[in-house]
Amino acid sequence: MKLNSLLILTCDDGSVDLAQAELSAAAPDAVLLEELSAGVLLYDAGVPFAELAARWRAAPPIFVRHIAPVQAIAPLGGHAGDPAYLARTLPDALPALDPTLPFSVQTRILADVPYKPFDVNTTLAAALAGDNGPTLDVRAPQQIVSVACVSLRIWQPDASLMLGGAHVGRNKRLAALAGLSLAADNLSSWAGGMRRFAREEGQVSRAEFKLLEAFEVFGVELSPRGMALDLGAAPGGWTRVLRQRGQYVTAIDPGELDARLANDRGIRHLRITAEQYLQDEPDRFDVIVNDMRMDARDSARLMAAFARFLYPHGWVLMTLKLPEHDRQPVLDQAFAILRRAYRIAGARQLFHNRSEITVFLIPAQGL
């Protein structure tokens, strides 16, 4: 086994099969070594990490949320001295960091240990930065040292590194899996792809996080004082986020909007379905968002019908709800419907998506 082809792949724990299919398509020789925790899988990809990352940079997967290389495996004692031990050993065990690129350490704790990611991040980062090393920049790192503290099955009996790790149950030892990569190669610049947002005063729904994450992931910009259409708007989380960003929002939903949005004159709420609104000859919009709870193909059909009400410079963000069974064929059908009117500029299962994915669309004539 080559240590340059080991990686940790992370996806939503309800989409493991779909993420595995994406890995098999990109790296047909990939072998699953172990499920480290729900949706966190240790793989021998069969190709160097950088090669797989390059393939996915060109054509990103939908369900694989994050990848990180494993180039060093260090035993852990499961006590408070582990972070300092990692700071002493990992800098030499890992490839050298580029001194010109800002870096960060991203630790995930997937085992029962008495320290937090922050303890490993700070201790190891200080050792890596040293006196002449790269600058630490946790907000916009260009290179990332990923560390996962895990209980690992002893899948490689001759791995002498593993021998010192504390036993955790039968045939399992505590270990840190670590690797250095370019942030752009990890599919997300957040540890494990876990993009968390602080809860805000006045927040209407958790769905707001989905829209905020989508803005970031797809790099979309809202034009000042744009006209936005929010299909399936209730209780109004996405509408609130769009208003905060200066959009005038037409909110379509038979359901009620949160009372806190009632006095906002920048919101026009029509208590009708999207299908009914379509009959009304809608206005034209700079942005259409759609979080309607309905079959992905029906939602795609409606979205395609709304395409003529989108300005040529406009764009769409929508969720596609995944069925319990036949998820891939249903998605393929929904994509085929959307392609009649749009270019699919991005499709990802975001950290804040549960049984759904988020799709970013641009009008087909804008090609």
Ligand X SMILES: C[S@@+](CC[C@H](N)C(=O)[O-])C[C@H]1O[C@@H](n2cnc3c(N)ncnc32)[C@H](O)[C@@H]1O
Per-residue x/- marks for ligand X, 157-196, CB under 6 A?
----------------------------------------
Residue 255 interacting with ligand X (CB under 6 A): yes
Among residues 179, 193, 236, 363, which is the contact residue for ligand X, using CB under 6 A? Answer: 236
Stretch that binds ligand X, among 118-126, 139-147, 213-221, 234-242 (CB under 6 A): 234-242
Among 14-22, 86-94, 107-115, 202-210, which window interacts with ligand X (CB under 6 A)?
A: 202-210
CB atoms within 10 A of CB 98: 14
List, in order, residues 6 or more apart from 363 with CB less than 8 Å away. Answer: 307, 310, 312, 314, 315, 341, 342, 343
Shortest distance, CB of residue 273 to ligand X, whole angstroms? 4
The residue within the footprint of ligand X, chosen from 238, 285, 335, 342 (CB under 6 A), is 238
Q: Single out the segment in contact with ligand X by CB under 6 A; choices: 5-13, 27-35, 47-55, 271-279.
A: 271-279
Task: Report CA-CA distances (Å) from 263 to 115, 245, 268.
Answer: 47, 17, 10
If 0-12 CB within 10 Å is exposed, 13-18 middle and 19+ buried, where does residue 60 land? middle
288-327 residues near ligand X, rule: CB under 6 A: 291-294
- The single residue among 274, 330, 350, 361 that binds ligand X, judged by CB under 6 A, is 274
Minimum CB–partner distance for residue 30 and ligand X (Å)? 35
DSSP string, 192-251: GG-------TT---THHHHHHHHHHHHT--PPTT-EEEEET-TT-HHHHHHHHTT-EEEE
Which of 137, 275, 280, 283 contacts ligand X by CB under 6 A? 275
C-alpha–C-alpha distance, residues 182 and 84, integer Å: 24
Is residue 355 close enough to count as binding ligand X by CB under 6 A?
no
Residue 310: name the closest of 363, 247, 244, 250 by CA: 363
Q: Is 178 helix (H, G, I), strand (E, B) or coil?
A: strand
* Choice from 69, 134, 165, 232 touching ligand X (CB under 6 A): 232
Please provide residue 113's backbone torsions phi and psi, each rounded to the nearest 5 degrees.
-130, 155
Q: How far is the CB of 360 from ligand X (least distance, A)?
A: 16
Tell me how far, at minimum, the Cβ of 208 lies from ligand X, in Å.
6
Rounded to the nearest 10°, the torsion over CA 70, 71, 72, 78 is -10
Residues identified as active-site: 321
Q: Are 239 and 251 in contact (CB under 8 A)?
A: yes
Binding flag, residue 273, ligand X (CB under 6 A): yes
Query: Is 99 a residue that touches ligand X (CB under 6 A)?
Result: no
Find the shortest distance in angstroms from Cβ 255 to ligand X. Answer: 4
In the complex, which residues of this chain contact ligand X (CB under 6 A)?
204-205, 207-208, 231-238, 252-255, 273-275, 291-294
